[in-house]
Amino acid sequence: MLLTIDIGNTNIVVALFKNEVIFSTWRLFTDTRRTGDEYGSMLTSLLQDDGIDLKEIDFCVVSSVVPVLIGAFVGLIERKTGKKPVVINPSIFPLLPVRVPETAVHEIGSDLLCNAVEAFCRYKSACIVVDFGTALTFTAVGATGDLLGIAITPGLGTARNSLFEDTAQLPSIPLEAPPTSLGTNTIHSIQAGIVLGYKSLVEGLVQQMKQDIAAQTGVKESDIKVVATGGLNSVLKPLTDIFQDVDKSFTLCGLCRIATILKDKGVS
């Protein structure tokens, strides 16, 4: 079995794959104050509750955008499984089918790299991956495997929380579409601004990226696929038709894809 760990700013997603298919997943809150021992105890309990023997794990891979937690998870995986996990970092980039520009090698988030690799391997065409997480990210990949560029903006939840935390009278509201853009109460007004505003942001930025990809590579805009992933993609999914595919597990699949490539190349 393959153990993948995706450490994000808000959540840590742990997934087990059997034959490149997700077998089980667990979600933990990201807390930099927790030690490796604490996370190890939690992870062990989750695996044991599902009747999973840690000895069955033969490969482990970690993606993290929270550097302070990498060491803790590497240590706990080694202790619990006896396997040293592979950490997604620039040293493995040359082994992957996606080419990262020199200017981005030491800056690209490992989650975005996973999205880029999965997009190229799955579609074999130019693609934009829109990832609805703590940050809302747009990752553009060319038809020949070049990472063309990335756009980043605060995520929907981040925008909502910032508005709630930094104002005296505005409440925290559910992220759902209001009846109309003409809000007549505080909740509907905020939903109009954030949910409908982000709909326009996503549609507008995707269209601009398609134009830029077409100008740079010569591919037709109509041939560029757009896929949505991330926990909050369901907020905008019913409101727009720009996504050809929606896969909440896209980043995890990319992590699995990278692990398979590395195993085939003898990395351990």
> Could you list the active site residues?
111
The one-letter amino acid code at 105 reads: V
What would the two tokens of residue 193 be? Answer: 């601004």
Kind and range of the H or E run holding 188: helix 186-191
SS3 63: strand
Q: What are phi and psi of 102, to 5 degrees?
A: -55, -35
d(CA 256, CA 240): 29
- Give the list of residues 6+ apart from residue 24 with CB closer than 8 angstroms, or none: 15, 16, 50, 52
What's the rounded Cα separation, in Å, for the pair 172 and 163? Answer: 8
245 SS3 class? strand
Q: Residue 61's Cα: distance from chain center in Å?
A: 15
**Cα angle 152-154-155, degrees, rounded to a multiple of 5:** 105
Rounded CA gap, 108 and 104, in Å? 6
- H or E segment at 50? none
Say which amino acid occupies 234.
S
Q: Is 266 left (phi over 0), alpha (psi -120 to 50) or beta?
A: left
